[in-house]
A and B are shown apart, each in its own frame.
Chain A
Amino acid sequence: MAFKLTRRTFLQSAALAAMSAPLAKIAYAESTLAPAALEAKGTFADETVCGGICEMCFWRCQIIGKKRGDRLVKLEGNPKSIDNGAAICARGNAGIQMLYDPDRLKYPLKNTGERGKPVWKRISWDEAFAEIGEKLGAAIKKYGAHGLCMFPHGASAKYPMQFFDNIVGTPNISEASFFQCRGVRDTAYMSSTSIPPNESVDMANAKVIFLLGSHLGENIHVSHIKNYIQGLQNGAKLIVVDPRYSAAAAKSDVWLAIKPGTDTAFLLAMINYLIEKKKYQADFVENHTAGLDELTVGVREWTLARAAAECDLPAEKIQLVADMLAENAPNVSLHPGRHVSWYGNDFQRQRALACLTALLGAYYVRGGWCPGKAPKVEEIGWAKSEHDEKFDLNIKEDGKRKYPFSPPGTPTDLIRDTAISGNPYPIKACVIWGQNPIQTIPDQEKTKNMLKQMDFVLCVDIQPTDITMWADILLPQASYLERYDLIKTGVQWNLADKHQQYIAARMPLSPPLFERKDQVFITNAIAKALGHGDKIPAESLEQLVDKSLAAAGLSLSQLKKEDGIHIQDGKDPFVIPEDFEVLLFNEEIADAGFPGVPTYIPVPQPPPGFARLVYGRVQVHTFNRTQNNAWLHQEMPVNPLWINDETAAKLGLKDGDTVGFVNQDGVKSPTTTIVKATPGIRKDVVYMAHGYGSKNPLLTVGVGAGVDDTQLISKASVDPESGTHGMRNNFVQLIKDGKTLDIPA
């Protein structure tokens, strides 16, 4: 204590008494407590608030909140839901911890230090918008709209993305959910069936469920998992193709520990077998497909024996799976997958899966691929506009597209490479909204170099993820529990049940804390700062949602009366549209210079001493989005390294040992994780969960916990048809006590 007077003496001192008037001048300037009616202890009644929609992951279960006073104390599934019902997963429960995480962003911040090593200063929203208007405005004026790029993610980024796309007019927008996740699935199916497949497989009513590298059971999406488990309960046979004995493999009837990267060869062999043996659904193929002849020729080389050698699987097992599928067709669920940007040969694999599903006639049938018929609401947003193709990086000089089957937006590397080289034009401003490109996009150094050369970087997020360290201005967004948003529509989770439809709009379960704001508030203010205030489509998020609901004859107030979910009669989904057609051979793909029938392209193999790094999910985390959630962290603080037990023994490693990594490019993991030695993984692969090892010390729980797999994915393979990233062609060695260990073949 530096104060050398007792407090009593201090308080009684004449000098202090003489200061009382000037002290009081300051002391009464502002107050936060107001007189209120006296309340006895324990009079807070618990209250239930409806209308929540979870976004701890993208599945968007409908939830309710239990409140005590102003504090949200518990989240539960909305018992009225015909989707997730009263159930939510562990992450959904931990939404409370997200809401009240002390590390979350609270006020607009300005970086007074350097990018990557920020020194933050709280600023007002007005100051933030003034600076954004000035800096973004200057970049757009100097370099054109295409001088700005955007990396958006999630429901809250849709409105701002439309603004930057349609109104500002930049084509340089890259969404991780497309280019590093499911985009290649969607474009491959679009090129086969004309419809993006989502995860619309009626597993609950299937006779066989077929999973290719899936994490079902390790990724919990409540109604999807209910669907899957119902199928297993009903006696569906489960086939799992995975180099790892995954949660699904543990429940399987047949597990094929396939050599990574060879899945397409495996699928083609089954296609060939079904065609040769005439075991396909002839009626369906006759009425709803085109190109069987070309397919027949195209896959002829893929005998069971050849695939067996290529995939390191017994030929009989491939045949067994093909027979199981054929015998139970058409009621078979071939799951299209979700995160499928694996090897850079993914478009062709997803095409093969779509074509195999067609041979089995498993579209629009019980137990097959079948989207429920969901109700429609109107999409209200910024007016659409066309871009000047001249600035579209995906268009070559000859006018053709570099990646003709790219998902919407611009392939990530076209943006990064252009920004770094300045060729064909400079990209000098960057808006990152709800995405963490450091931990989602391979080759972190490239992302950092892109950011370093920017004139201005704006980040909007709910928490200080790794990318936010690179912002000049960092804005705090209201989380899904604090804002209106997104209308979720769908049907009852089990298609065999009474046909019903639902409409639910997100409503806040808590007011936004501190100075957090929603995406409409933030985007509209940016629009005004950039001189586009006259084009604003809705003054508030609440108004935007209300306008969309009006198309379905609903309103937020009506939804509130209906406990957050409107339910109406549905339609029979098991009716195949007359014009539904699957292109087994796609001429457009062939014309663009790619194989028109599904084709296997071999992938690089691990160099001696290395194993392939494969990553995945865990039940208690949604990647880096939840890594700072103390409740979830408690459940699984690090991401153990799965390594074959015999390999581990040869390396002298045992369960619980601590290891780090170095990859084929010499990139070292700055952190370590623990070993899980198991017979349940092939010797040429190691595996860990994605989304650990954050570098941002602002995330006081997640920082340095486990290993960041994305850092080790320094080599990104690019899928030639779609421009999406393949991220599983990276190879690692282990580091133990400072020594690099060669992994035996």
Chain B
Amino acid sequence: MPTIKMDSKILPILYRFCGQALRYPDSGWPMADLQTRFQEILTIVKADEEGQELSRFFAAEKEESILETLQIEYTRLFINSYGGVVAPLYASVYIDGILWGAFSETIRERYLRSGYSPDDTNEPPDHLATQLEFLALLHESGRPTEAEQFLAQSFRPWFSRFYQRFSAGNPHIFYRVLVELIDYLTLEEEP
């Protein structure tokens, strides 16, 4: 079976990193660090065009307006938008057509079976960032096979639909790079 390199220590860190980048960009959000890391990652994967587009964006505007642009874009892409929200970050929207559907519960059960529980009951358990954190936890606790199963059985089936909807929504370069990175890190790789 095609696998990702299980002994990598960096993988869970990347999952978590992406999860943090998926948080709403408020004033406490580590924008400068995120920018630097993304540029470095894009250099490593030789995504030169994206790298240039991203640096143009960050260079062109003041920090405050960069943050506001990202806030408006985040709201449009993931929360509510005139014209229709592009792609909510919750798995069950793609499987059940509803927030907190049966699939959210399946995901939550999956966390519990591995010994984790979401600590915020106001937020559905199947948020993309929470699932990335779960994958990280499985790796960090030496359970790469479980992580692999979760990816195949639970994550990819909805994420691929999310990815399609997201990509069709003309996303901003920052979120394009982020979601592409998540796709890259969770896609089954050919042997």
Contacts and interface: CB of A to CB of B under 8 A. Distances in A.
Given A2-B49, A5-B44, A11-B5, A34 B119 contact: yes
A16 to B, nearest CB: 6
B171 interface: no
Nearest to A96: B98
A40 interface: yes
B97 to A, nearest CB: 6
Given A23-B13, A69-B108, A121-B68, A33 B79 contact: no
A29 interface: yes
Contacts of A24: 13
A609 B55 CA distance: 63
A569 interface: no
Contacts of B123: 32, 513-514
A482 to B, nearest CB: 10
Interface in A578-608: none
Interface in B165-187: 180-181, 183-185, 187
Given A16-B44, A29-B20, A513-B123, A97 B133 contact: no
A45 interface: no
Given A33-B119, A41-B109, A5 B101 contact: no
B120 interface: yes
A16 B113 CA distance: 32
B109 to A, nearest CB: 6
Contacts of B108: 69-70
A514 B78 CA distance: 13
Contacts of B127: 32
Nearest to B83: A697
Interface in A98-152: 99-103, 105-107, 109, 112-113, 117-122, 124
A100 B113 contact: no
B160 interface: no
B105 A69 contact: yes
Nearest to A119: B72
Interface size bucket, A side? 35 or more
B115 A37 contact: yes
A297 interface: no
Interface stretch (B29-37, B56-64, B149-157): B29-37
Interface of B: 4-5, 8-11, 13-17, 19-21, 23-24, 26, 30, 33-34, 36-37, 40-41, 43-47, 49-50, 68, 71-72, 74-76, 79-85, 88, 90, 93, 97-102, 104-105, 108-109, 111-125, 127, 129-130, 133-134, 136-137, 180-181, 183-185, 187, 189
Interface of A: 1-8, 10-13, 15-17, 19-20, 22-42, 44, 68-71, 97, 99-103, 105-107, 109, 112-113, 117-122, 124, 464, 469, 511-515, 630, 696-698, 700, 703
Given A27-B19, A35-B117, A38-B113, 9 more contacts: A5-B44, A8-B189, A27-B13, A32-B123, A71-B104, A102-B93, A120-B72, A122-B71, A511-B122
In the complex, the 9 A-B pairs of residues with the closest C-beta atoms, listed nearest first: A36-B117, A27-B16, A3-B45, A4-B46, A100-B99, A39-B112, A33-B116, A27-B17, A2-B47
